[in-house]
Chains A and B, each alone.
Chain A
Amino acid sequence: GAGVSQSPSNKVTEKGKDVELRCDPISGHTALYWYRQSLGQGLEFLIYFQGNSAPDKSGLPSDRFSAERTGGSVSTLTIQRTQQEDSAVYLCASSLEQGAHQPQHFGDGTRLSIL
């Protein structure tokens, strides 16, 4: 389909391992957002990209989290030395362009479980 695609859909890993989550936005969408959804914290903003640059990284919870976007399309969110509190659903969204009025289209998320 033409929606936002995230992979993997589920990831189980051991504490201390690194994980990489992938997001393919809708073709032509220049803005890309990462959010985290957990029972305790609800939906939290992590980072967004306009093109390949990330003007707002303020939501990243620690320096173990990083993200990049290449070619203005695919983005990867990397979590190093995972901790149990990183267990959550990581959602990616894209919009046609950056703007407060632009609706964001979400993928189905990656459910991350840290053992």
Chain B
Amino acid sequence: AQSVTQLGSHVSVSEGALVLLRCNYSSSVPPYLFWYVQYPNQGLQLLLKYTTGATLVKGINGFEAEFKKSETSFHLTKPSAHMSDAAEYFCAVSGGRGSTLGRLYFGRGTQLTVWP
């Protein structure tokens, strides 16, 4: 079975500070992992994904995430926060096989606030 846990429903940082959003997953098959961002009254926008290969994945808007199998983690980071990064962030793992193939299992989300 697949599941995702996002630690911290709210994270606040100052503009220019490091952003770290935590995600741990559980998967019965090799996982495919995704981070999405949601701005108010909008759908989800893909930030980055891990499928296979390099464990450090770079995405849009300066975000990156590192897949650590030993820790079952896929934390999202950005070296320097910008006001425009304020949004809700969702980590997701993809269903692995059979009828659940491709289905996404989401964490509960982390609301990022950026202070000036």
Contact = CB atoms under 8 A, between A and B. Distances in A.
B102 A31 contact: yes
Interface stretch (B11-19, B78-86, B88-96): B88-96
A56 B43 contact: no
Contact of A45 (B41, B49, B105): B105
Contact of B41 (A48, A105, A108): A108
Given A43-B90, A91-B44, A106-B45, A101 B106 contact: no
Interface stretch (A13-21, A63-71, A78-86, A92-100): A92-100
B99 A56 contact: yes
A99 B102 contact: yes
B61 interface: no
Contact of A33 (B49, B97, B104, B109): B104
A103 interface: yes
Task: State which size class the interface on A falls in.
Answer: 20 to 34
B108 interface: yes
B103 A45 contact: yes
A7 interface: no
A1 interface: no
B108 A33 contact: no
Contacts of A58: 99
Contacts of B32: 100-101
A107 B104 contact: no
